[in-house]
Amino acid sequence: MNMKYALVMLLFGLMSCSSNNEQNQADQSKEADKFKTFKIDIEASVVDLVDFIDEVEVMRLEETDNSLLAMVAGIEITNDRILIPHGNGDLIFFSKTGEYQSTFNRQGQGPEEYERLGSVWVVANRIGIFDGTSIFQYDFDGKFLGSSKLSNNVNAVYPTHDGYALDASGKVTNDSLQYNVILVDKALKLQVMLNLFEHFPPFGFRMAANAFSPYKNGLLYHAALSDTVFHLEDQKMTPLFNIDFGENWVWNDKSLIGNKLKSMRAIGERQTDVFAFAPFVDENFILFNSRNINDYIIINRATSDYQRLKVSKKDGRNFQFMPIKWDDGRFLVSLSSAELTEFMEDLEENQIKFRQGTTLEEIESSENPVLLWVKFKELK
């Protein structure tokens, strides 16, 4: 009887601990999503990015005649493959260990062809492509599944659970309305317009391929010339955080708004100040870089601690380091294969992991970039 009682109490305790841990994680997640302002000094002390790495996983991208990549700036990861859109219109598939699988290209002027690769996404084994005017759907073999032409002039598109989010920043909707975000259903019928703007940006500018990025059960939205990131969920849009650059934020000067010539002059004169930035956000961290400044800044969302990181080589030149996205707590980047050895030379052997099928010898004999999953050290 005592043994049974002890086992019951042990199981109850384990279940209670598990429940408490889940509740704590939920509470921390809610706390992180409360609106915050992060004050950043862009001249704060800087450390080498490599010195801030806890560990890194390296994966080659197999080089073949059909998988030649000059650079990798965007990636879609599915359960069993990796999709890389390429600037020439190619959609190139690799396995989760970097083996080349297939390529298709439907770029052209025909009714089943996209004019260019604008926004690209994968949902339920379907590839979605926005080419500037229309949304196209293909399967993984490149078979055409349908297309729809948008009635709105927009910058980018991203899927929602029941339709699409359209980035209309700087555009006029329905002749006179000025909203940054338009939500439409799967038939492209209007659902709601969000995030009214008063002034047109002085010029169109993007640092990321898409102003939207997935976040929890919704999306994040950030226009490059804005200091605020918004959370979009259930047809509602709320500010999640903003970055306070102090006197180093060009757009503190309100006389620049709507004045293209004056804005361009100010940007040219204020070469060490920030006028645009591209944030990469997960539940715990924000990593961003900005125009005019080569360094990156990582922020702990819970504590507001931050660190400035430089990505330069010993000779002062920058690594060909391309930020992509957060992936399950690690930050995914691409790097020139020719620079990998130098990038890793200050890391300990136990900090480096090569994914199955990847060897340093193969990377050094390839011109394709490599993918790195970087886990950063704790901010102090």
Question: For position 28, what pLDDT does the model report?
Answer: 55
pLDDT band at residue 172 using 50, 70 and 90 as cut-offs: confident
Instruction: Name the architecture of domain 36-376.
Output: 6 Propeller (2.120)
pLDDT in tens, 2-47: 566 655 565 566 556 555 555 555 555 567 789 999 999 999 999 9
Q: What is the pLDDT of residue 225?
A: 87
| pLDDT at residue 174, as a whole number | 67
Predicted confidence at residue 291, as pLDDT, reads 74
Domain boundaries, the chain: 36-376
Cα separation values, 19 from 14, 23, 24, Å: 9, 6, 9
Q: Give me the pLDDT at residue 148, please.
A: 96
pLDDT at position 205: 75
The per-residue pLDDT for 12 is: 62
Q: What is the pLDDT of residue 179?
A: 87
Per the confidence metrics, is the pTM higher than 0.95? no
Q: pLDDT grade, residue 212 (50/70/90)? A: very high
| Pairing of the two strands 330-335 and 126-130 | unpaired
* Range 329-333 contact pairs with CB under 8 angstroms and sequence separation of 24 or more: 329/282, 329/284, 329/375, 330/57, 330/373, 330/374, 330/375, 331/280, 331/287, 331/373, 331/374, 331/375, 331/376, 332/75, 332/371, 332/372, 332/373, 332/374, 333/371, 333/372, 333/374
What's the average model confidence in pLDDT over 237-263?
91
pLDDT at 72: 92
Among the listed ranges 33-42, 138-147, 198-207, 212-221, which one has the minimum average pLDDT value? Answer: 198-207
pLDDT at 136 over 90: yes
pLDDT in tens, 301-314: 999 999 999 998 88
Residue 365: is it exposed, middle or buried by C-beta count within 10 angstroms (0-12/13-18/19+)? exposed
Q: What is the pLDDT of residue 337?
A: 95
Number of DSSP helices (H) and strands (E) in the chain, helices first: 4, 27
CB 150 within 8 A of CB 135: yes
> Region 177-193: what's the mean pLDDT?
92
- Say whether pLDDT at 112 is over 90: yes
**pLDDT at residue 64, rounded to an integer:** 95
Which whole number is the average pLDDT over 345-354? 95
Burial 141-166 (b: 16+ CB within 10 A, else e): eeeeeebeebebebbbbbbbeebbbb
128: left (phi over 0), alpha (psi -120 to 50) or beta: beta
pLDDT at 143 over 60: yes
More confident residue, 243 or 255: 243
